[in-house]
Amino acid sequence: MKLTLHVWRQKNASDQGRMETISADGVSPDMSFLEMLDLVNDRLEKEGVEPIAFDHDCREGICGMCSLMINGVAHGPEAGTTACQLHMRSFQDGDSIHIEPWRSRAFPVIRDLIVDRASFERIQHAGGYVSVNCGGAPDGNAVPISKIEADLAMDAAACIGCGACVASCPNGSAMLFVAAKVAQFAHLPQGQPERKKRVQAMVATMDAEGFGACSNHYECEAVCPKDIPVKFIGELNREYLRTACGD
Amino acid sequence: MNFHLNSKIPDGPIQEKWIKAKFDLKLINPANRRKFKIIVVGSGLAGGSAAATLGEQGYDVHCFFYQDSPRRAHSIAAQGGINAAKNYPNDGDSIWRLFYDTVKGGDYRSREANVYRLSEVSANIIDQCVAQGVPFAREYGGQLDNRSFGGAQVSRTFYARGQTGQQLLLGAYSSLNRQVDKGTVKTYPRTEMLDLVTVDGHARGIITRNLVTGEIERHAADVVIMATGGYGNVFFLSTNAMGCNATAAWRAHRKGAGFANPCYTQIHPTCIPVSSDHQSKLTLMSESLRNDGRVWVPAAKGDKRAPNDIPENERDYYLERRYPSFGNLVPRDVASRAAKERCDAGYGVGETGLAVYLDFADAIQRLGKDLVEARYGNLFHMYAKITAEDPYKVPMRIFPAVHYTMGGLWVDYNLESTIPGLFVLGEANFSDHGANRLGASALMQGLADGYFIAPATVPDYLAREGTMNADEKVTTHHPAFEEAEKSVTDRVEKLLSIQGQRTVDDFHKELGLIMWNHCGMERTKESLEEALKLIPALKEEFWKDLKVVGDKDSFNMSLEKAGRVADFFELGELMVRDALQREESCGGHFRGEHQTEEGEALRDDDRFTFAGVWQFKGNDKAPQLHQEELQFPNVPLTTRSYK
Ligand SMILES: Cc1cc2nc3c(=O)[nH]c(=O)nc-3n(C[C@H](O)[C@H](O)[C@H](O)COP(=O)(O)OP(=O)(O)OC[C@H]3O[C@@H](n4cnc5c(N)ncnc54)[C@H](O)[C@@H]3O)c2cc1C
Ligand code: FES
């Protein structure tokens, strides 16, 4: 396959950045999207041109490192798939592909397709935990947890923290990300003691970091590579309301 | 340079060693702990849990990692599960049985006392993770669910769907976040350790490169913990993440840390086969698939019919045939070699002939598609995505791939390396798995090291060797830091200045192929001696013909990779030397010359019941081999048999 790539190039945070057109030759349909970029980068380097910088690590769809806007869609055209798990057989010979970084006020660009997601970290620091010291925990089976609740907690906990939800939201909202963490703990007995404090602290930090509000576009759910459902945003809203009502 | 291998195994019966050790280890008064600075390199299960726990104890902890978040360390990718001797299913498990299985599974090349301790703390790990809110799989009655996992005859594996590593890491990450919020832990994302600094023979700090700005930085501390993961990427193609590297461990080795058993690599039997040379990594399919899938190849050589067209009586279920009692559940090393044996003999399937079938037709018939989907849905989905084939209808094609490294920096019972004040945790140490690791035991070991062992042994070092007096502490102005920083800067500049023709990946792929062909699933004297010529020649070419574009003062992926590959060359050579020295077959190390008539691994206990520990002697000097004798008073040496 032969493709034409339109790629965002930006040397560093202070550079303005621009789209550049780069051709990709000899692409095989069995390649992953990132392997296609490897191929292009190998050629660029041999020509003495700086390779396209992009984030990646596990290439198995679990670390949440890869973060590409592909033709305007976070992680590209396949539902429930990260960019690293997307294969070139989803494209046609001769296609033009636009590749951009996540765009959000809260995710400044570091270089080319790489953004800084430290704002996600700070939300987690604010309350994404159960306050339990190591040692002295009761037996794992001391408190039974119904399979239904455990499964719901797991559905939420599957979030890989990639930021696709923010990148795809017209408001740049991080609600789905925050909802996933809050819901995981809300469904478990271990999360109960700090339930109110957690939701308040995480939402306050989310707001302070410059993420937008949710106005029910549900773009986040559509692009989430782990299919985290928006019903968790409803749960987040309820959790937040409970704290306001003093329940 | 001083080089003692004192394993510091406590006296007394094996059941009492850790209890005794914990009592003998010195403590630090809670009020004084914040005066001690601890560097933790790595934020995976081992590093993340250690940093969080030492933070909870009140130390001043600084945690470094190369990803943008601790949650992205490669532990995140573990799928199958974590072992613990809880015996919830009441099927005969015990601390002793887990200990026994691990020693035997490691082919009698691990240290008994460490393995016993690992089994002993395993149950506490599950309790700790549950308390953090890890959503383990549960039964309808609300109790934790268990499954049986490769090579075990009891169900002792805890899991969270197919994402156990992710959930355990998120647990450790959450504890780490709590400490960051409290101010006891500071994190350094996108920061790579490029050297270890020693002062008077003790580890006193590290030199790092900020991967965003390119800045080279000095960090001093009272003690250094490394939990930097495994080195499977020496082979280029492996199930490891792209960034997994040996640089931290290798730099420490060059500063005096012994490197133990580098030749012990684990080749995992159930990975998606290589499809072509553009491939950048291999994808593991969890071993749990072998609980219900049956492995086979055509009974006739070169049979190119589609799998579903091959009738039952023309299939060879070779694992069931060769190992009637364990069948498809034989340990990894055995399953991998058996697949290679069939493919080498011309029975392999798929376009390359380098694959065997893993078939779920029977399971679907027996259990129904829904149950198979409930158990393995995400794996089937992943397989379909990568290969564009539907495993519900057509058997999967699988082939072994490099997965885990049992070798690593040598540590004593306290997890301290041969450099005092340098502790090594998780996959980075040579650890508890001997020559072969059992499934679901790496997560257990990483968390045992980080939650329970280092938090007891590191304070002992500080109490014995550390100082609370600020004036006596080593600072980054010490000449040792100056020197280490200069050598790092020189090396970075050297890599950029070569300006040859070949890219880093080009070299890395070639090195990987040499390692796979000459020091992979089967090694011989001949192949290893050949590798000892090929690797240094390629290394020389690397330093003459490498091309890295870009500069050192900005984000530069090629420069990062170049430094890592440069270290892989040196480590690769040591792996080959170690494999050559070990004239026996054991676990993941299979020497073609040393096998039984049936093709099973043949140990030589008289000559090789030791851990081989290598000492770095200088750039152009041969490294020196030391031996830690291993004793097995509790699990008598027998030949591993899964027949
Ligand atoms: C695909 C896959 C599936 C697996 N499944 C299982 C399973 O089901 N059960 C099981 O028990 N085991 C499994 N394993 C093995 C297990 O996941 C690993 O052995 C274990 O997680 C390693 O943990 P760790 O903390 O030692 O290292 P890692 O999680 O690899 O963490 C290494 C850390 O070190 C940092 N680091 C590395 N080098 C540097 C440097 N130079 N400078 C700064 N930081 C650095 C990284 O940023 C990272 O934070 C699996 C492994 C793989 C690859
Ligand atoms: S690289 Fe890890 S999720 Fe894509």
Instruction: Give the residue-averaged pLDDT of B196-211.
Output: 98
Contact B374, B397 (CB under 8 A): no
Q: How far, in Å, is the centroid of ligand 1 from the Cα of B230? A: 7
Residue B175 lies in a domain: no
Nearest to B75 by CA among B84, B67, B86: B67
Residue B552 CB contacts under 8 Å (≥ 6 apart), including other chains: B214, B492, B493, B496, B559
Q: Chain A neighbours among B 160-199 (CB < 8 Å)?
A: 160-161, 163, 166-167, 170, 173-175, 177-178, 180-181, 187, 189
Instruction: Give the residue-averaged pLDDT of B148-174.
Output: 91
Our CA-based measurement puts residue A164 at a distance from the nearest CA of chain B, in whole angstroms, of: 16
Mutate to test the pocket of ligand 1, among B49, B75, B233, B386 (most ligand atoms within 8 A of CB): B75
Q: Tell me, what's the pLDDT at A98?
A: 98
Q: Above pLDDT 70, what percent of chain B?
A: 99
Q: Tell me, what's the pLDDT at B222?
A: 98
The per-residue pLDDT for range B463-480, each reduced to its tens digit, is 999 999 999 999 999 999
Nearest neighbour of A30 by CB, restricted to B71, B161, B276 = B276
Kindly tell me if the per-residue pLDDT of B619 is higher than 60: yes
Residue B367 lies in a domain: yes
- Which tokens is A222 given? 């559509």
Give the HSE-up count for residue B300: Cα atoms under 13 Å, Cβ half-sphere: 9
CA distance A160 to A94: 33
A14 touches chain B (CB under 8 A): no
The per-residue pLDDT for range A90-143, each reduced to its tens digit, is 999 999 999 999 999 999 999 999 999 999 999 999 999 999 999 989 999 999
Kindly tell me if the per-residue pLDDT of B1 is higher than 60: no
**Cα torsion B98, B44, B250, B452: sign:** negative
Nearest to A34 by CA among A79, A93, A76: A76
Residue B281 lies in a domain: yes
Kindly tell me if the per-residue pLDDT of B620 is higher than 90: no
User: If pLDDT is split at 50, 70 and 90, which confidence band does B288 have?
Assistant: confident
Residue B391 lies in a domain: yes
What are the domain boundaries of chain A?
Answer: 3-110, 118-244
> Across all residues in chain B, what is the average pLDDT?
96
- Which tokens is B158 given? 């805890």
Q: For residue B89, what is the DSSP state?
A: T
Number of domains in chain B: 2
Taking contacts as CB-CB distances below 8 angstroms, the residues of chain B near A55 are 68
B280 touches chain A (CB under 8 A): yes
Q: How far, in Å, is the centroid of ligand 2 from the Cα of B283? A: 12
Q: Tell me, what's the pLDDT at B2?
A: 62
- Which tokens is B538 given? 């390629």
Q: Tell me, what's the pLDDT at A247?
A: 53
**ipTM > 0.90, yes or no:** yes
Contact B58, B33 (CB under 8 A): yes
C-alpha dist (Å) from residue B417 to A232, B262, B425: 47, 15, 10
Domains A3-110 and A118-244 share a fold: no
Q: Vertex A182, ends A178 and A185: CA angle to 5°?
A: 150
CA distance B36 to A127: 26
Instruction: Give the residue-averaged pLDDT of B586-596.
Output: 96
CA distance B535 to B519: 11
Instruction: Give the residue-averaged pLDDT of B384-400.
Output: 94
Q: Tell me, what's the pLDDT at B329?
A: 87
Q: Tell me, what's the pLDDT at B376?
A: 87
B620 vs B40, higher pLDDT? B40
- Which residues of B240-317 form beta strands (DSSP E)? 259-260, 265-271, 294-298, 315-316
Which of B354, B387, B403 is the last residue in one of the domains? B403
Q: Whose CA is nearest to atom 30 of ligand 1?
A: B229
Range of the domain at B321: 268-403
Q: Above pLDDT 90, what percent of chain A?
A: 97
Per the CB < 8 Å rule, is B170 touching A129? no
Q: For residue B595, what is the DSSP state?
A: B
- Which tokens is A178 given? 């925050």
The residue in chain B having the minimum alpha-carbon distance to the alpha carbon of residue A56 is B242
CATH topology for A3-110 is Ubiquitin-like (UB roll) (3.10.20)
The per-residue pLDDT for range B58-91, each reduced to its tens digit, is 999 999 999 999 999 999 999 889 999 999 999 9
Which of B578, B600, B622 is the last residue in one of the domains? B600
The per-residue pLDDT for range B308-362, each reduced to its tens digit, is 999 999 999 999 999 998 899 888 888 999 999 999 999 999 988 999 999 999 9
CA distance A99 to A9: 10
User: If pLDDT is split at 50, 70 and 90, which confidence band does B595 have?
Assistant: very high
For B498-524, where are the alpha helices, taking DSSP H only? 504-519
Q: Tell me, what's the pLDDT at B287?
A: 83
Residue B505 lies in a domain: yes
Kindly tell me if the per-residue pLDDT of A245 is higher than 80: no
**Cα torsion A213, A214, A217, A218: sign:** positive
What CATH number should be reported for the domain whose range is A118-244? Answer: 1.10.1060.10
C-alpha dist (Å) from residue B499 to A48, A49, B484, B547, B564: 9, 12, 25, 5, 18
The per-residue pLDDT for range B482-498, each reduced to its tens digit, is 999 999 999 999 999 99
Contact B409, B430 (CB under 8 A): yes
Q: Which helix (H) or strand (E) holds B219?
A: strand B216-220
Which of B403, B429, B458 is the last residue in one of the domains? B403
Taking contacts as CB-CB distances below 8 angstroms, the residues of chain A near B167 are 154, 157
Per the CB < 8 Å rule, is A137 touching B501? no
Per the CB < 8 Å rule, is B170 touching A157? yes
Residue B321 designated active-site: no
Residues B275 and B396 in one domain: yes
Q: What is the 3-state secondary structure (H, E, C) of chain A?
A: CCEEEEEEECCCCCCCCEEEEEEECCCCCCCEHHHHHHHHHHHHHHCCCCCCCCCCCCCCCCCCCCCCEECCEECCCCCCCCHHHCEHHHCCCCCEEEEECCCCCCCCEEECCEECCHHHHHHHHHHCCCCCCCCCCCCCCCCCCCHHHHHHHHHHHCCCCCCHHHHHCCCCECHHHHHHHHHHHHCCHHHCCCHHHHHHHHHHHHHHCCCECCCCCCHHHHHCCCCCCCHHHHHHHHHHHHHHHCC
Q: Tell me, what's the pLDDT at B283?
A: 93
Q: Tell me, what's the pLDDT at B85?
A: 98
Cβ of A66 less than 6 Å from ligand 2: yes
User: If pLDDT is split at 50, 70 and 90, which confidence band does B527 have?
Assistant: very high
Kindly tell me if the per-residue pLDDT of B3 is higher than 90: no
Residues with CB under 6 A from ligand 1: B 41-47, 64-67, 73-75, 77-82, 164-165, 192-193, 227-230, 239-240, 244-245, 247-248, 284, 403-404, 426-428, 440-443, 446
Instruction: Give the residue-averaged pLDDT of B11-22.
Output: 98
Q: How far, in Å, is the centroid of ligand 2 from the Cα of A77? A: 16
Q: How far, in Å, is the centroid of ligand 1 from the Cα of B404? A: 9
CATH of residue B560: 1.20.58.100
Per the CB < 8 Å rule, is B135 touching A161? no
Q: For residue B110, what is the DSSP state?
A: S
Per the CB < 8 Å rule, is B386 touching A85? yes
CATH of residue B377: 3.90.700.10
> Which atom of ligand 2 is least distant from the CA of A82?
4
Instruction: Give the residue-averaged pLDDT of B541-569.
Output: 97
- Which tokens is B426 given? 């998780």
Our CA-based measurement puts residue A106 at a distance from the nearest CA of chain B, in whole angstroms, of: 15
User: If pLDDT is split at 50, 70 and 90, which confidence band does B639 have?
Assistant: confident
Residue B258 lies in a domain: no
Q: Tell me, what's the pLDDT at B151?
A: 64
Q: Which helix (H) or strand (E) holds B57?
A: helix B45-57
Q: What is the 3-state secondary structure (H, E, C) of A206-235?
A: HHHCCCECCCCCCHHHHHCCCCCCCHHHHH
Residue B85 lies in a domain: no
Residue B534 lies in a domain: yes
Q: Vertex B24, ends B20 and B28: CA angle to 5°?
A: 135
B635: left (phi over 0), alpha (psi -120 to 50) or beta: beta
Q: Which helix (H) or strand (E) holds B99?
A: helix B95-105
- Which tokens is B202 given? 């003790």
A91 touches chain B (CB under 8 A): no
User: Model pTM?
Assistant: 0.97
CA distance B339 to B295: 9
Contact B209, B200 (CB under 8 A): no
